[in-house]
Structures are given as structure tokens and as C-alpha cells.
Structure 1
Amino acid sequence: MGVEFRHLEAFLAAAEEGSISRAARLLRVTQPALSRTLSQLEQQVGATLLRRSAKGVELTAAGMAFRAKATQAVNAFTEAVSSPFDAPRPLRVGHAWAALGRFTTNLIQRWRVEHPEYPLQLRQVDDLYVKLDEAVIDIAVVRGQRPGSRYRHELLYREARLAAVPAQHQLANRRSVTLGELVPYDLVVNTASGTTEPYLWEENRRPAVTVEVATVDDWLSNIAAGAGLGITPDPSSQLYQRPEIVYVPLSDAPPVTVYLAWPPHSSHPALRDFLAIARALVG
């Protein structure tokens, strides 16, 4: 038996995850089955590629050298089985809302000029990681919490936080407010894609959360109706303008981190180009 695609896929997953159990979950196989596949690979190449311990696995010197070759082989195989008559596969960029914020328009324009052969599709989806796992999207824009170790990721930029207040509210005419000034008021929180977390305030001094919503539209409607205040990254002030809502800068709130996340073995030929353009746009 020679080296098969499944051997390379198993090895790359274990190397990326640093854990047999996490790699098995990623590939949706049992841990014993993955261990057997890795042992078969090491027998075939005649070298120990992974050093196993109670903490997980790490690459040996031979494993580091083999990883580069395995990656090239997997990419070449994926390209080889693609029909030359197939239309170029779109690069699908998932986001919960706002995509790349103020950089989105320039991203689309630059992509159309530099890579017209690969259509760029921005897809607004509810659960970014599920869609990545299901290969519904190729890469995701993630706001807030850093992506887990199952995904490759890169911190792209940061966005300032704003307070969203009803237009008739006493804070609406302020040039800026602090987190502490929001404590006396009720808060509207988007639990599906929002970035408002309790850690923004001290434990014994936090606003009451009276309304939890799952969509941006419901979040906006509740604030407009005076049900409470909201906290949001600054793209909201351009994307979701309503006469009933005023966005006021938060002077002491930490910025929202914006990451790009993608599967460790993504085979889309335009992924690296997308990363390069995104980096260049945000400076």
C-alpha cells in the first residue's frame, strides 16, 4: 500500500491542530482510525513525522520537511481533479454583517480589476464556523472573539465602538460618552452576531440587559423604539442610518478586533490573493 490522499490529509490536520483528537474531530473520523492512518504514513515514508506526548503532537524535523511536500501534493491533487472545462470557482467570503466595513467597496473594486477570473461573493450568514466546516464559504470575516485553533486566522484590523442611542435620548447630543455613563440605562444586545460582552464593564457595575435579539434589524428596531441603548462597531454608523438612532463615540471602550478565518487545508487558488489584497487595503 502506498501513500494515499487520506494519509496526507490526516497528517496535515494533525500538524495544524497539534492534537490527534482535535484533528479527528476536524476530519470527522474516530481518534483510533486517525492514529492508524498516521502510523501507516510513517511506515510508508520510513520516518517518524509526529512526536506524541500527553500534551498533543508536534512535528519532528522530518515532519517539518514532509509538511511542505504534503501541502504541495494536496494542492496539486485538488487542482488536478478539477475539470479544465469547469467555470472558475467563486471565492466565497462569509460575514455576519458589514463584511470588511469601510474597506468593503475598495475590496470589491480592486478584486474585479486584479482577479476578474474568480468571482468574489460576499455572503451574509448566521453561523460562520458551521459554514466554514460545511465548505459553504471559503473564508470568514469574524468580529470580536479570536477564532479557535481549528482554523487558520489573521488579525486584520480594529474598529472603534460606538453607542447607539435613540435620537431623543439625553446622550444623543454628546460628542462622546464613556462605558460608565451607559450603566444606568437598559441595553439591547444582539446575541447572534453582536460584540457586546460583559467584560466591558466591572463585574459589580454593568448595565441591565433587558432585550436580547438575534438579528441586526431587531436590534435597530428596539433601540429606535427606546427599549434601550446599544453598543456596536463603527461600520453601523454608515450601514444602518436611521433618523431615530444616533451613534455616539465611546471614548474608553476597547476596539473590536476583525479577523479573517479559513480552514487549514483550503484549496481555493485565489485565497492567498484575497489575503494579500485585504492586508494591503487595511494598511
Structure 2
Amino acid sequence: MAVGVHHLRTFLMAVEEGSISKAAARLHMAQSAVSRRLAELERQVKQPLLERSAEGVQPTVAGKTFCAKADAAVTAFDDALRSDLQKVRALRVGHAWSAAGMYTSEILRRWQETNPEVQVRLRRVDDPAGGLTSGLSDVAIMRTHARRRNLHEELLVMEPRVVAVAVNNPLTALSGIRLSDLVSHPLVVNSFSGTTTLGLWQDGRQPVVAVDVDTIDDWQTYIAASVGIGVTPASTAWMHPHSEIAYLPILDAPPVPVYLVWASNNQHPALRSFIRLARDVVAEAGD
């Protein structure tokens, strides 16, 4: 059977949802039909594009590369058929954790006021590259260096760190917290897309890692259960408040850089305008 754009749409939906059953629901198809279509696509490209597990699906290394090409192909196809050739598709802004923190709402509000014809779509992707390498985002808000030749990055703001603890943790009684106060408390970390490593503690004394998680939801669950504490950018407290977690400032922790990152070959017509607007919102907040 010939592979067409519908195969690409199905693949992209499976990647976006992380689940064949959820993709089937979004596409109004039977799950078996989605699985069959994905198998046809993989036979055509002669390699697996998705890793399947009990938790769902995620792109393989080859699948991440294919995802970017498939997204570009589907976008070009839709643009060619669109009756209103002046309409621009949504600008996809990926982030792995907390978007732009306290600036997020103002950026979105001002964008809607000044560019109502182009939607900005936030996409939380548990990926240190914010969905750029998998083709899920046009621009990403990242808290680590991109370290890829084809990606451009611009520093947006430096963000302080806080410690996240269960509300009954003794640390909540301290008037000021330093990194040295945390060494006796086990850590909950996300080594895949988080910003905290044991390298923060440079005096020879380091905490132990209690558990390494994959998502912000699991990170908060373990902290609320007093399995460990977490060190995180201050934006986490703003974006992810939790009734069983207290976020406390750390006096001597180095700040976290927040970058806007985009692919050098991205041609979305609203990309540069979004970058300028985000830069202006952060600058005005600091005045």
C-alpha cells in the first residue's frame, strides 16, 4: 500500500499523544487501524519509528529525525491546500518544565493583543530540547544549553533556584536556606530534562539521590510524600503550585539561565516576532 500524508498525520499524532489509543481517539479511528497505518509507514521507511511499551509510545532515534521531516511535509501539504493563503499556522512553543515562568501569561496576553491572527500554542514536552529535535516545536524555552550546531539560542533571563519540600519538612522552619543545609536530605531529580545535578554542591559534601523521575508530576508526588526534596528554578513554584509542597528560596545557589532556542532553518513567519515580544516582556518587567 502506498504511504501518504495520512500516514504522516497518524505518526505525528501518536508522537504528540504518546499513546496509540489516544491518537486513535483524536483521529476518530479504531486503535487497530492506527496500529496498522503506523506499521505500514515503518515498513516503507524500513526501520522502527516508535518504541512501544505498557506506558505508551515514544519516537526512536530514527523516529525523532523522521518526525521533523514529517511535520514539515504535513505543514507544506496543508499550506498548499488552504483556501486562505494568508492564514499562518500556530506557532508551537515547546518547554520541558515551566515555560517562561512568571512571564508566561503576559507573553501570551500581549501576543494575542498584537497578533490575533496567529495562535501561539504551548506544548509541554518531557524532552531537554523542548521538542525541537523531534519537530514538535518551532521555538523552545530551555534551561540548558542547546549544544547543537543547527540550533540558535538567546538568553532570556536568569532565574533563581528554590528548594521544594513537603510542608512538614523541618527546612520550612529555617529563616534562610543554603545549599549546605540540604546535604542531609535525599534528592528527587529529573536527570533527563531537569536542571539539578550533584555538581551544585562543590564543597565535597553532597546529598544522595533518592529517586530519578521522568516528569514534573512524578517529581512533585515524591516530594509531597517526603521521599526527598527537589531543587528547581523559581518558575516551578509559579507554574506548578502544590498544596503539599513548600517552595523556599536558596540564598547561595547559582541562578538558572532561561533560553529561547530555535532551529536555524525554521521559516515560521511569526518566529522572530515572538522572540522580540518575549524579550520585551522580560525587559519591561525588570525595569
Q: Aligning the two structures, in what range does the TM-score lie when normalised by the shorter sequence?
A: 0.5 to 0.7
- Mapped to 2, the partners of 1:181 and 1:129 lie a distance apart of 32
Q: Could you say if the C-alpha distance between residues 130 and 274 of structure 1 is closer, same or farther in structure 2, counting changes exceeding 3 Å? A: closer
Contact 1:192–1:215 under 8 Å retained in 2: no
- Mapped to 2, the partners of 1:146 and 1:130 lie a distance apart of 10
Query: Which amino acid is 2:151 matched to?
Result: Y
Gaps of 5+ in 2: 1-64, 66-75
1:31-50 → structure 2 map (5 Å cutoff) = none
Aligned length: 205
- Mapped to 1, the partners of 2:110 and 2:268 lie a distance apart of 19
In the other structure, the counterpart of 2:84 is 85
In the other structure, the counterpart of 1:197 is 197
Contact 1:93–1:123 under 8 Å retained in 2: yes
**2:120 is equivalent to residue 120 of structure 1:** yes
Residue 279 of structure 1, CA deviation: 0.7
Residue 84 of structure 1, CA deviation: 6.3
Residue 169 of structure 1, CA deviation: 1.3
User: Residue 267 of structure 1 aligns to a residue in which SS?
Assistant: coil
1:118-197 → structure 2 map (5 Å cutoff) = 118-127=118-127, 129=129, 131-197=131-197
TM-score by length of 1: 0.68
- Mapped to 2, the partners of 1:220 and 1:266 lie a distance apart of 34
* 82-91 or 114-123, larger mean C-alpha shift: 82-91
**2:208 is equivalent to residue 208 of structure 1:** yes
Instruction: Report the identity percentage.
Output: 40
The C-alpha deviation readout for 1:184-203, integer Å capped at 9, x for no partner, is 11111122321101221126
- Mapped to 1, the partners of 2:103 and 2:261 lie a distance apart of 17
Gaps of 5+ in 1: 1-27, 29-77
Residue 128 of structure 1, CA deviation: 5.2
Query: Which amino acid is 1:85 matched to?
Result: D
Contact 2:191–2:197 under 8 Å retained in 1: no
4+ runs of 1 displaced by more than 4 Å? 81-84
Residue 274 of structure 1, CA deviation: 0.4
In the other structure, the counterpart of 1:259 is 259
The C-alpha deviation readout for 1:145-195, integer Å capped at 9, x for no partner, is 354333011011011100111111111122320111101111111223211
In the other structure, the counterpart of 1:50 is none
Contact 1:175–1:249 under 8 Å retained in 2: no
Residue 239 of structure 1, CA deviation: 2.5
The C-alpha deviation readout for 1:23-47, integer Å capped at 9, x for no partner, is xxxxx8xxxxxxxxxxxxxxxxxxx
Q: Could you say if the C-alpha distance between residues 208 and 224 of structure 1 is closer, same or farther in structure 2, counting changes exceeding 3 Å? A: same
In the other structure, the counterpart of 1:276 is 276
Q: Could you say if the C-alpha distance between residues 262 and 218 of structure 1 is closer, same or farther in structure 2, counting changes exceeding 3 Å? A: same
Point out the structure with max Rg over C-alpha. Answer: 1
Contact 2:89–2:118 under 8 Å retained in 1: yes
Residue 244 of structure 1, CA deviation: 2.0
Q: Could you say if the C-alpha distance between residues 210 and 276 of structure 1 is closer, same or farther in structure 2, counting changes exceeding 3 Å? A: same
1:8-47 → structure 2 map (5 Å cutoff) = none
Cα RMSD of the aligned pairs, angstroms, is 2.0
The C-alpha deviation readout for 1:225-249, integer Å capped at 9, x for no partner, is 1111110111122222223211111
Contact 1:174–1:248 under 8 Å retained in 2: no
Residue 126 of structure 1, CA deviation: 1.9
- Mapped to 1, the partners of 2:213 and 2:133 lie a distance apart of 25
